Amino acid sequence: MVVSVKVFKKATPNGKVTFYLGRRDFIDHIDYCDPVDGVIVVEPDYLKNRKVFGQLATTYRYGREEDEVMGVKFSKELILCREQIVPMTNPNMEMTPMQEKLVRKLGSNAHPFTFHFPPNSPSSVTLQQEGDDNGKPLGVEYTIRAFVGDSEDDRQHKRSMVSLVIKKLQYAPLNRGQRLPSSLVSKGFTFSNGKISLEVTLDREIYYHGEKTAATVQVSNNSKKSVKSIKCFIVQHTEITMVNAQFSKHVAQLETKEGCPITPGANLTKTFYLIPLAANNKDRHGIALDGHLKDEDVNLASSTMVQEGKSTGDACGIVISYSVRIKLNCGTLGGEMQTDVPFKLLQPAPGTIEKKRSNAMKKMKSIEQHRNVKGYYQDDDDNIVFEDFAKMRMNNVNMAD
């Protein structure tokens, strides 16, 4: 069985400069982050004593593009790092195995490059827009680009510039811990003795995308009111630090009257199961996703992780958190009582059984999806499969015509 390695390829409109990347997902391990490593191939006769410069940029869009009028911008672009790629300024640069393989295959016109994310840079997050909104996505997006010029400050021409969107993601720690998050609240009523107590306990603190969350609800009714129904929600909390805005969205929910009414003096213990999935929240405005790339399966945005000793209040970009919310309906006069139990929703770490299972499912979908796409071709010598964005774009144009 031959194992192929997919390499992402994209060229400038004039075809003279080409990007090669072994991956588009780069992992933030909290204490360090994977470098952006790739190779650029340049036709030597095209440069004519000019140079090729590379940049790693992030775009922070917090408003719709169609609302930008009279010079008002709802986005901010930051150049995180830049360097001269051709000719190389550091000929002794240490290459990764993928870079070595690509340079050996592509020849003397291939030039490796490496960019590093700054410490505490935010993860890629996309805020989902309504179905008929085709503007630029809201959220945090990373792009690598290369252009030809005499200096870094030269005007960039579209015909000689190539850019590729990448993602910066976080994984769950290898050990999910033994802590069981819980919350206990009680509510009294005016002109009525006694209270209703509500305790909610989760079966773990960290869940993987696609896993079932189990919330055990214990209700003790020592009041004269009755509990009519129980509502369960998984709530996604989003904080946009640039504009100091916060909002919450329900990403999974259920309502039940099973075991109700809980009459005075009665108790109830029941476990409720919910699965938060992006597939169940399609076209819902404001749902945060894990840096969505086109034509790709996407998860809900992962919980924001920070280094030990720091709080999420120190994080920048778009900060994501989750909680299970339980509401008890105590009737028209009794009102509602609720409690939230926070938890973390993350991708499984590489090497875990859950990650291997997830990768196998994605690979099967990818094979089926791209079996008949001409934008993919394989180099049998080195078992490299190139995903050519330029060819795919031309195929789409021809199909549209």
Where do the structural domains in the chain lie, given as residue ranges? Answer: 5-170, 182-352
Angle at 24 between CA 89 and CA 153, to 5 degrees: 40
What's this model's pTM, rounded to 2 decimal places?
0.82
In angstroms, the CA 1 to CA 344 distance is 38
Domains 5-170 and 182-352 fall in the same CATH topology: yes
When the pLDDT of each residue in the chain is averaged and rounded to a whole number, the result is: 83
Count CB atoms within 10 A of the CB of residue 107. Answer: 8
Q: Looking at residues 230-258, what average pLDDT do you find?
A: 92
In the predicted model, is pLDDT for residue 389 greater than 80? Answer: no
Q: Classify domain 182-352 by CATH architecture.
A: Sandwich (2.60)
Model confidence pLDDT, tens digit, residues 10-28: 998 888 899 999 888 898 8
CATH of region 5-170: 2.60.40.840
User: Within 10 Å of residue 399's Cβ, how many Cβ atoms?
Assistant: 7
Tally of CB atoms within 10 A around 181:
18
**CA–CA gap between residue 196 and residue 219 (Å, rounded):** 7
Instruction: Name which of 24, 13, 38 is nearest 147 in CA terms.
Output: 13
**Could you report the per-residue pLDDT of 126-155, keeping only the tens digit for each?**
988 876 666 677 889 999 999 988 888 877
Which pLDDT band holds residue 360 (cuts at 50, 70, 90)?
low
